[in-house]
Structure 1
Amino acid sequence: MKKLVVVAALCLMGMAAHAQQNLSWGQGPQVASPDIHADNSVTFNLIAPDAKKVQITGDMLPTKKVEFAGNTYDTPGIVDLVKNDKGVWSFTTEPLKPELYTYNMIVDGVKIIDPLNVYNIRDINNLFSVLLIGGDQRTDLYKVNKVAHGTVSKVWYESPTAGLTRRLTVYTPAGYETSGKDYPVFYLLHGIGGDENAWSELGRATQIMDNLIAQGKAEPMILVMTNGNISQEACPGETSEGFKVPTMMLPKTMEGSFETAFPDVVKFIEKTYRVKKDKAHRAIAGLSMGGFHSLFISINNPDMFGYVGLFSAAVDQQQPNGGFPNIYADRNAKIDKLFSKNPKLFWIGIGKTDFLIKNNNDLRAYLDSKKHKYTYMETDGGHIWRNWRIYLSEFTPLLFK
């Protein structure tokens, strides 16, 4: 028996040693990446002794302008890492402003995620490493703080109009399960190529909602994050199509099908959840394509939403050969009808260097010509998640007051 105990102990020690070995970074130098310093500068490291060239690209770097399809876009810059005598490549930034940053390494021309950073986010068909630098009131909204938390659910619903069973991400505020109360609803839409996960993952929407509600800055509400690609059941990899490669080039994009099917979403939510079922307690907003959808859903259903938000909206980008041209016909007359019914809020936000700013300025010029009241926010930067998180944080406290 004694011999058995000794053997068992040795086996356990061996297993522990093996586990520790698996948890280590191997026999080479042990470094961290990203390494955030006290002054908010960040060092990125990569162990690649055989690499010829290592670079980093991300939105913590100065942007550069790129021309594509007649538009000018801000894209992240690229800088070289420097290798030391141990085969570790490194780069240290200037002190960074508080923000959620995404980045990639580029090793001998191949873009990869940071192998030393376990935190990654998918955006369409790209995978990014991510880091969060807090320290100001805005970015603290993006953190999981010690406040009461809502519930986030992936919910399937039938869309007779689309002919599909489709999925939503639904946030219910803390206390929903036990309060017995009815709540207002905010429908939040993503951009082209995104899906029902985009706002909760890239947009930090659920953290923003938790924190704004806990601070008393926003009314407790249900947040419904749709999949705006009406040809999809749900996000890539989580449908009956299996592990299909994500793409922006999807059927039925911005040609009227999604707007036509949207009432199916509202009917499902109002049948399934305890909600207030009137215009004064419904809001809709979206980024880019989602802002385009929000505009046309609201003006084609002028009695449905009391609050409308356009975040870098892709206005005037509809497909010319769409299946539902009447959705986009007579836009200005429909806008006039919406405003004749006195929406409580019509909100527009866009970046100064966004490639869609002219389209948004043209829309604003029309609103001004008709003396339609709206709220406008212009921020630095272009067509980026950094701005869309700001717009969500600014728009939400204005709802249902």
Structure 2
Amino acid sequence: MLRMARWTAGALFATAVMVNAQAPQGPVVVSPEVSAERTITFRLLAPKADTVEVQGGDIQGLTRGVIPMVKGANGVWEATSPVVPAGAYRYRFIVNGVNATDPRNPQVSESNANSWSLVVVPGAAWVDVGQVPHGAVASVTYFSKSLNRNRRMHVYTPPGYELGKGKFPLFYLLHGASDCDDSWTSVGRAGFILDNLIAAGTAKPMIVVMPAGHTSTSMGPRTATARDEFADDFMSDIVPYVESHYRVLKGRQNRAIAGLSMGGGQTLNIGMAHLDQFAYMGVFSSGVFGRGPRTAGATPTTPPEWETERAAMLDNAKLKPGLKLLWFATGKDDFLLGTTKVTIEMLKKHGFEPVFKETDGGHTWLNWRDYLNEFAPKLFR
């Protein structure tokens, strides 16, 4: 009976393969396709769909952030983007109102609660995969005692680290709201940016730690009395883990922290509360967030309790010389530009000397990759 059962199962499998081989095959779909002119063509085989759109993160010139797709006679939907700058772009299909990743594209970029398909448009040497020595990016799971659960971070180690020689300075790089620890290495291209900078000799070889800034999938604002779970996890678990598992140079002068948007706010929250531990801070498209709504025309404010909680560090004159760089960058079309400027003025009142660069553009990865490329060479000098 056992032998018969095995034969029957094998026969059924062979029959299924033959039937599948004889079934009509759909058209070959290539998606995404990047042209020499830097347009992106998206395609999706969905013959039974009624409507299909492409939603493209950072792809400029779109209406409602989407590109309507046109259905061909073969059941393939197609759309082409406007010309875009070189860089990496997230996108997804909206099929009959349902979000979906591109089934023909294995490249993905994670967010806090979902994932996107990813397409890279070449043409910027500093962010492309160059013919240079490459570092490694590891997905690292650690147990957070402060949160009582396993957590994940991504860690970049520079070229040659695997040889087991030498110690390196440490750069903590934080993502923005709705993103996750994967974001800086996928859509942010941080590993390739660092590879190219180190190969050119413009940045020091360094270890870059990219933790998960969200402690849940909830995106609600933290109340004034709520515990800052990320700050607790960062100082009590992430920092000790990294400094005990990697060959790092110790001391304030060998530590930097920076972040974009939410991560920029976290950089200020943590960095200014532990000013004796960081010599370099970078704030990209961010500042100290007020508690009121950010509406058009409203004047941002710095919550007074933020300064009160950090008064000992903000007004400690002995610590300021050890802060070698406090660097801000925000686009002129960024909705957080006002928050950035108010934060800078508040820090100046406490005796700090922040550097501020107002750039073109808005609240997008097109700027944040640029900011990392400019900020990283300033570290550990």
TM-score, normalized by length of structure 1?
0.76
Alignment match of 1:46 (pick from 44, 47, 63)? 44
How far does residue 205 in structure 1 lie from its aligned partner after superposition? Answer: 1.7
CA deviation vs aligned residue, 1:287-339 (integer Å, no higher than 9, x gap): 222211111211111210110011122522469xxxxx987635577434376
CA deviation vs aligned residue, 1:55-79 (integer Å, no higher than 9, x gap): 2221324156xxxxxxxxxxx6223
The answer as to 2:59 corresponding to 1:60 is yes
Instruction: Give the structure 1 partner of residue 272 of structure 2.
Output: 299
CA deviation vs aligned residue, 1:208-260 (integer Å, no higher than 9, x gap): 2222212222101111112233x46xxxxxxxxxxxxx443598998433324
The answer as to 2:76 corresponding to 1:97 is no
Instruction: Give the structure 2 partner of residue 390 of structure 1.
Output: 370
Change beyond 3 A, Cα 1:195–1:89 = closer
Residue type of the partner of 1:170? Answer: V
Change beyond 3 A, Cα 1:367–1:40 = same
Report the Cα distance in structure 2 between the residues aligned to 1:120 and 1:212, rounded to whole angstroms: 25
How far does residue 372 in structure 1 lie from its aligned partner after superposition? Answer: 3.1
Residue type of the partner of 1:284? Answer: I
How far does residue 186 in structure 1 lie from its aligned partner after superposition? Answer: 0.5
Instruction: Give the structure 2 partner of residue 313 of structure 1.
Output: 286
CA deviation vs aligned residue, 1:71-128 (integer Å, no higher than 9, x gap): xxxxx62232223333332222333321211222222332322233232222222332
Instruction: Give the structure 2 partner of residue 329 of structure 1.
Output: 308
Describe the SS at the equivalent of 2:185: helix
Describe the SS at the equivalent of 2:88: strand
The answer as to 2:323 corresponding to 1:343 is yes
Instruction: Give the structure 1 partner of residue 66 of structure 2.
Output: 78
Pairing 1:26-45 to 2, within 5 Å after superposition: 27-45=25-43
Describe the SS at the equivalent of 2:282: strand
Contact 1:100 1:133 in 2 (8 A): yes
Q: CA RMSD in A?
A: 3.4
Contact 2:315 2:351 in 1 (8 A): no
Report the Cα distance in structure 1 between the residues aligned to 2:76 and 2:232, rounded to whole angstroms: 55
Pairing 1:160-199 to 2, within 5 Å after superposition: 160-199=145-184
Q: 169-178 vs 309-318, which deviates more?
A: 309-318
CA deviation vs aligned residue, 1:318-362 (integer Å, no higher than 9, x gap): 69xxxxx98763557743437633411111122223222211110
Report the Cα distance in structure 2 between the residues aligned to 1:298 and 1:261, rounded to whole angstroms: 14
Pairing 1:139-154 to 2, within 5 Å after superposition: 139-140=127-128, 143=129, 145-154=130-139
Report the Cα distance in structure 2 between the residues aligned to 1:318 and 1:220, rounded to whole angstroms: 39
Instruction: Give the structure 1 partner of residue 334 of structure 2.
Output: 354
Describe the SS at the equivalent of 2:205: coil
Pairing 1:366-385 to 2, within 5 Å after superposition: 366-368=346-348, 372-385=352-365
Change beyond 3 A, Cα 1:392–1:33 = same
Contact 2:185 2:191 in 1 (8 A): yes
Identity %: 38
Report the Cα distance in structure 2 between the residues aligned to 1:252 and 1:219, rounded to whole angstroms: 39
Contact 2:265 2:286 in 1 (8 A): yes
> Could you list the runs of 4 or more consecutive aligned residues of structure 1 that deviate by over 6 angstroms after TM superposition?
250-254
Instruction: Give the structure 2 partner of residue 248 of structure 1.
Output: 219
Describe the SS at the equivalent of 2:50: coil
Instruction: Give the structure 2 partner of residue 259 of structure 1.
Output: 231
How far does residue 164 in structure 1 lie from its aligned partner after superposition? Answer: 4.5
Describe the SS at the equivalent of 1:329: helix
Q: 77-86 vs 253-262, which deviates more?
A: 253-262
Residue type of the partner of 2:36? Answer: A
Contact 2:87 2:122 in 1 (8 A): yes
Report the Cα distance in structure 2 between the residues aligned to 1:137 and 1:61, rounded to whole angstroms: 21
Contact 1:193 1:247 in 2 (8 A): no
Report the Cα distance in structure 1 between the residues aligned to 2:21 and 2:89, rounded to whole angstroms: 31
Residue type of the partner of 1:180? Answer: K
Residue type of the partner of 1:120? Answer: V
- Gaps (5+ residues) in structure 2? 1-10, 293-303
CA deviation vs aligned residue, 1:165-185 (integer Å, no higher than 9, x gap): 543322221212325212110
Report the Cα distance in structure 2 between the residues aligned to 1:174 and 1:270, rounded to whole angstroms: 19
Report the number of matched residues.
353
Pairing 1:183-222 to 2, within 5 Å after superposition: 183-222=168-207
Change beyond 3 A, Cα 1:21–1:360 = farther
The answer as to 2:124 corresponding to 1:136 is yes
Instruction: Give the structure 2 partner of residue 108 of structure 1.
Output: 96
Report the Cα distance in structure 2 between the residues aligned to 1:152 and 1:297, rounded to whole angstroms: 24
The answer as to 2:208 corresponding to 1:223 is yes
Change beyond 3 A, Cα 1:125–1:154 = closer
How far does residue 363 in structure 1 lie from its aligned partner after superposition? Answer: 1.0
- Gaps (5+ residues) in structure 1? 1-10, 65-75, 233-245, 320-324
How far does residue 162 in structure 1 lie from its aligned partner after superposition? Answer: 4.0
Change beyond 3 A, Cα 1:195–1:250 = farther
Report the Cα distance in structure 2 between the residues aligned to 1:273 and 1:315, rounded to whole angstroms: 31
Contact 1:303 1:341 in 2 (8 A): no
Describe the SS at the equivalent of 2:328: strand
